[in-house]
Amino acid sequence: MGKLVREETGIEGLTVITPKVFIDQRGYFFESYNYNDFKEIGIDNVFVQDNQSKSSKGVIRGLHFQKEFPQSKLVRVIVGSVYDVAVDLRKGSPTFGKYFGVVLSAENKKQFFIPKGFAHGFVVLSDVAEFAYKCDDFYHPNDEGGLIWNDPDIGIKWPLAEVGGLDNLIFSSKDKLWPTLKELTTSEN
């Protein structure tokens, strides 16, 4: 068995990765990133920026994307747990508008590879979560786009019961105002 297990999601390019973890009486060890191992499973990106955020239970970040300078991301949780989501925005894709979600946690050590052309976001399930991710292009503040988290046409099944319901969600002011996918595609035409 290789160092990484690749799990397909049903959406081309979107991949859940589980690393091989070495556990003994001292604790554990694993390589969170090794270019050669990722290349071996078909992820041949050169990452240029690492980011980390800390959020409390019920925080929803996203759904974000870069418009003219799209980024592929390799995301993981280092403290706590989140429900992480990617929505396919690639024009002409047979899964355009479809999403995939996965629980990422410090315990399961899963990573989520999100190629260019996806909107991305997560909700924090634990009391606190620290989220780390690699990007293969730099962040351009004037290039940010987004989709509203609860777009009925996308139909993301957020695990709201795990955060105490809708009333316990916490958003940034801009994340409350993103358009739906229909509004976004209408404005682009």
- Cα separation, 4 vs 2, whole angstroms: 5
Count the Cβ atoms, other than its own, within 10 Å of residue 92.
5
Q: Is 140 assigned a catalytic role?
A: no
Catalytic residue among 83, 99, 120, 133: 133
Catalytic residue among 28, 35, 64, 139: 64
Say which DSSP state 59 is in: B
- Cα separation, 154 vs 178, whole angstroms: 14
What the block records as the tokens of 106 is: 């410090």
Helix (H, G, I), strand (E, B) or coil at 135: strand
Q: State residue 130 phi and psi, 5-degree precision.
A: -110, 125
Pairing of strands 49-56, 27-29: unpaired
- Cα separation, 62 vs 160, whole angstroms: 15
- Cα separation, 105 vs 171, whole angstroms: 21
Q: Which amino acid is at 156?
A: I
Say which DSSP state 110 is in: -
Give the catalytic positions in this structure.
Answer: 64, 133
